Amino acid sequence: MTKSSTTVRQRIVAGAADMMSRRGLNATSIRETAKHARAPLGSTYHYFPEGKQQLVTEAVRYTGEWTAASLRRELEAGPVAGLGAFLALWRRIVVDSGFRAGCPVLAVSVEEPPTDEPPAALLAAADVFTEWENLLAGSLREHGVEPRKAAQLATLVVAAVEGTVAMCRAKRSPQPLDDTAEQLRDLILAAITD
Amino acid sequence: MTKSSTTVRQRIVAGAADMMSRRGLNATSIRETAKHARAPLGSTYHYFPEGKQQLVTEAVRYTGEWTAASLRRELEAGPVAGLGAFLALWRRIVVDSGFRAGCPVLAVSVEEPPTDEPPAALLAAADVFTEWENLLAGSLREHGVEPRKAAQLATLVVAAVEGTVAMCRAKRSPQPLDDTAEQLRDLILAAITD
DNA sequence: GTCTATACGAAGATAGAC
DNA sequence: GTCTATCTTCGTATAGAC
């Protein structure tokens, strides 16, 4: 594998994640992802021999890792800071794209694959959600929140952010994210000062 | 329009909503919705002359109305009862379908249509979210929550439920919904007893 | 009014030329 | 190793027979 190959591969994955977040899983075609990365169609199947399933799974994991890294970094300043960064990250993506982009992990979680059984991309999406929840829950526990409540709050935060991103897209407004942000912030503040 | 026509039409709309909630917007084809309703392909275009855009828009509104009716009914017993019914409704859909069905309104909100501009289905989705929020916010205000907080809480509830439904699908578990339910319940209880 | 047959495009995937 | 050309299937939509 040459150096430029690696770069093309990464461009394809990142581009696929972006397209999935806009059009959804099914409407993101291998053809278009290749064109977007200025790579011929055949190359995509060279880099991703298992086809679309492999590409979208990597796109989900890529988004998951990228977001988790940001979350991990910001959580060092505490749960409220982490929550703020998490919300700001998605707000930027939604607003900067003119309410066209969203979360590719959510896209995968909403569209059932044609085949009957355990699609790799959906399993990856579940893992990504769990990782984000674990990061948040861990930080909450470190700040005195009891484990059960920490886990529930973490789930609520991730779910609320994902749902709000979709609502902002539909309404073409950042208002839902701002409303959710304020309520979640109060909730986390109250939890860690109990 | 004959009596049986109306029935077929309704079957097509309800079937489309179900398929959208499972496969997503783009993977729900007119062909399959027709087959699902045991109607020939041509009939679908007879009932929905504007094609897929019209059908999916009606499916979104159908889901919105159906859910709003349930919400309105249960909110008569107060915000906590309304929230509980709202959560129970989606929990049933997700669990009874073996984690295959979800919310068609969310599906539409996550997938950008191929064309450039204001797709009717997305506008309908935004309206549905707003209606659900308004119902919840109204009930909260009636129970003494100040308008601004009532609106923010309502947004949080709708967003969290939508996001949690998607998470349950990905994880193939009702756990996220149960966690979210408990936290939202506490939050609403605290708000109305301030 | 209901439906069959079909036009046309685009999808996923692959064969095989370079 | 890289890419073009193509196979097959399925999508939306419509024309026109009953």
Å between B4 CA and nearest CA of chain A:
32
Smallest CA–C1' separation from A42, nucleotide: D3
- Convert the pLDDT of each residue in A63-120 to its tens digit: 999 999 999 999 999 999 999 999 999 999 999 999 999 999 999 999 977 666 668 9
Within the 5-44 window of chain B, which residues sit less than 8 Å (CB to CB) from chain A?
Answer: 22-27
| Helix or strand run (H / E) with residue B31 | helix B30-36
Q: Is the pLDDT of residue A3 over 70?
A: no
Judge: A179–B152 Cβ closer than 8 Å, yes or no.
Answer: yes
Of B26, B108, B170, the CB nearest to A109: B170
In the block, residue with structure tokens 């309304």 = B82
**In angstroms, how far is D5 C1' from A107 CA?**
33
| Cβ atoms of B156 and A95 closer than 8 Å | no
Spell out a b/e string for B77-110, using b for 16 or more CB atoms within 10 Å of the CB, else e. ebbbebbbbbbebbbebbeeeebebbbbbbbbbb
What's the CA gap between A30 and A51, in Å, rounded?
A: 8
- Convert the pLDDT of each residue in A27-72 to its tens digit: 999 999 999 999 999 899 999 999 999 999 999 999 999 999 999 9
Query: How many other C-beta atoms lie within 10 A of the C-beta of residue A15?
Result: 21
Q: Count CA atoms closer than 13 A to B172's CA, side-chain side.
A: 9
What's the CA gap between B135 and B78, in Å, rounded?
A: 11
Q: What is the pLDDT of residue B7?
A: 84
A85 touches chain B (CB under 8 A): no
Chain A neighbors of B153, CB-CB under 8 A: 183
Q: What is the pLDDT of residue B118?
A: 66
Within the 120-139 window of chain B, which residues sit less than 8 Å (CB to CB) from chain A?
Answer: 122, 125-126, 129-130
Q: What is the pTM of this model?
A: 0.95
- Convert the pLDDT of each residue in B35-87 to its tens digit: 999 999 999 999 999 999 999 999 999 999 999 999 999 999 999 999 999 99
Å between A168 CA and nearest CA of chain B:
9
More confident site: B3 or B52: B52
Q: What is the pLDDT of residue A147?
A: 98
